[in-house]
Homo-oligomer: A and B are copies of this chain.
Amino acid sequence: MCGIIGIYGNPEAARMAALGMFAEQHRGQESCGLAVSDGKVIHLYKSMGLVKEVFTDEVLKTLPGYIAVGHVRYPTKGAATKFNTQPHLVETLFGPSYALASNGDLVNYDQIRARLEAENVYFNSDNDGELLVKYLAWQIIAKNKDVVEAIRCLMKDIKGAYSCVFCTRKELYMFRDPLSIRPMIWGKNINGDVVVASESCVLDILDVNGRSEVPAAGIIEVNADGVKVIGNNPAQYRQQNHHSYCVFEHIYFSRPDSYHFGENVFEVREDIGRKLAEQDKGLEADCVVPVPDSANFMAVGYSAASGIPLSLGLIRNHYIGRTFIKPEQTIRDESVRQKFNVLPNFFKGKKVVLVDDSIVRGTTIRKIVRMIKLAGAEEIHLRIGSPAICYSCYYGIDTPHREELAANRYSLEEIKERIGVNSLKYLDMNSLRECLKEPDEYCYACFDGKYPLEKE
């Protein structure tokens, strides 16, 4: 889970990029970085922290140029360091020459890295993005390929999810894996500046009107001559006819004001809510309460379909960030209270339909349920806006090992008991597919284990 951005053409490319990264901050809050070219040199700045903390006016002034490649990174264990932060830059005798930011995970990272190291290519991180940019630089420098050829070689050799923005000192390239696993959208603003990002809400803030998906296996080259969309037949790189869009972007990751793969996120979520309500015919309750913010629109949909009034009974503290203040012995575990609280007196005696987007380990929802019960709720009916998660993701979502997933450790009944609710229902797979316009174009591997690409 990360967010990427690319800008071409604006003399304040760094500033535009920072603005855009801020709009996709929810995709990665651990660290962020920007590489900016002024046509002669690529300047780089990256740091742990949020966009608005890292990219101050002072820092932005050190990043002159009209081409920008940026990245926001999601916290993952062990590797949350500045070294692993993207973009990665390749320096040569001719100066800082190539930079790349990517979203998605590779499935044959180890194989490709070993191959490049055998050719003496140097790595200073364990990050996928570095592998991608070093691979391209090696094709360009050591194999004398041009950039488009180098990217085509990459698409043949490297397997996995990758939505990439790559720049040389004078050009910006965007390209995307043949399955289009992670989102990637681009367009031009009124000035003709080109913008590419992970979510459409970034294009909103940057006032970009015309927008398109970067096509599967497509390469888009942007330079002084304009924009050239280089279509590749994705079939030559993959073994199936359809895309493998990540369905979890709709369920959880993306902002509700974004659209992906031809669908509005908020509408998919409202539809999920409606489907959940349909599964619940006859349930009597006083209110539908979402776990904010990801389940808000699911609750809206549930309420609309069921007629049970929507209540914002859980309040989320938005100042929560990377770090929890961890109380020690003397105070009992209130970490969930740092993030959520209940309205005073609201739940007393109520029958509640509680809607959440998914269950991973099940620890947070258990604490939320306990809090609502302490607040006096009479019944809690938990509804989950996705099927049970039984498989890990290899393409960029930070799901735990299979054995840690609640759905693999316990039966539905056991989960219900552990969480402490009166009833528990997941969205079934068919209903989920009915919420999508092109259900065959999505990857559901975390639910059904049908991986479009195996881990090598």
Question: Taking beta carbons and an 8 Å cutoff, which residues of A are in contact with B?
Answer: 10-12, 15-16, 18-19, 22-23, 25-26, 29, 41, 50-52, 55-57, 90-96, 120-122, 124, 134, 137-138, 141-142, 191, 200-201, 204-207, 255-259, 264, 266, 296-297, 300, 304, 309-312, 315, 317-321, 323, 325-328, 330-332, 334, 337-338, 341-346
Chain B residues with Cβ below 8 Å from A334 are 19, 205-207
In the assembled complex, 21 residue pairs joining A and B whose CB atoms fall closer than 8 Å, in A order, are A10-B331, A12-B327, A15-B327, A16-B327, A25-B317, A25-B319, A91-B92, A92-B122, A93-B122, A93-B134, A201-B341, A204-B337, A206-B331, A255-B341, A256-B343, A257-B343, A264-B343, A264-B346, A266-B343, A296-B312, A304-B309
Q: Do residues A52 and B319 form an inter-chain contact, with CB atoms below 8 A?
A: yes
Task: Kindly list chain B residues whose C-beta atoms are within 8 Å of the C-beta of A310.
Answer: 300, 310
Question: Are A338 and B205 in contact (CB-based, < 8 A)?
Answer: yes
The CB with the most chain B CB atoms within 10 A, among A200, A206, A310, A331, is that of A331
Q: A266-B346, A319-B51, A343-B264 are in contact. Are A338 and B22 (CB under 8 A)?
A: yes
Give the shortest distance, in Å, between A406 (CB) and chain B (any CB). 26
Q: Which residues of B contact A204 (CB under 8 A)?
A: 337, 341-342
Give the CA-CA distance A121 to B94 in the complex, in Å.
Answer: 4
Task: State how many copies of this chain the complex holds.
Answer: 4
Q: Report chain B residues within 8 Å CB of A96.
A: 122
CB distance A52 to B92 under 8 Å? no
Contact A330/B94 with A256-B343, A310-B310 known, Cβ cut-off 8 Å:
no
Q: 18 more A-B contacts (CB under 8 A) besides A93-B141, A266-B344, A318-B318? A: A12-B327, A15-B327, A16-B327, A19-B334, A19-B338, A26-B319, A41-B122, A50-B319, A92-B92, A93-B122, A94-B120, A95-B122, A204-B337, A207-B331, A207-B332, A256-B312, A256-B343, A259-B344
A255–B341 Cα distance when bound, in Å, is 10
Q: What is the minimal beta-carbon distance from A410 to any residue of chain B, in angstroms?
A: 29
Q: Which residues of B contact A346 (CB under 8 A)?
A: 264, 266
Closest chain B residue to A92 by CB distance? B92
- Would you call B138 and A93 a contact (CB within 8 A)? yes
Chain B residues positioned under 8 Å from A15 (CB to CB): 325, 327-328, 331
Q: Give Cα A10–Cα B328 distance, bound, in whole angstroms.
A: 11
Chain B positions within 8 Å of A57 at CB level = 326
Alpha-carbon separation in the docked complex, A51 to B319 (Å):
9
Q: Is the CB of B257 within 8 A of A330?
A: no
Cβ of B191 and Cβ of A330 under 8 Å apart?
Answer: yes
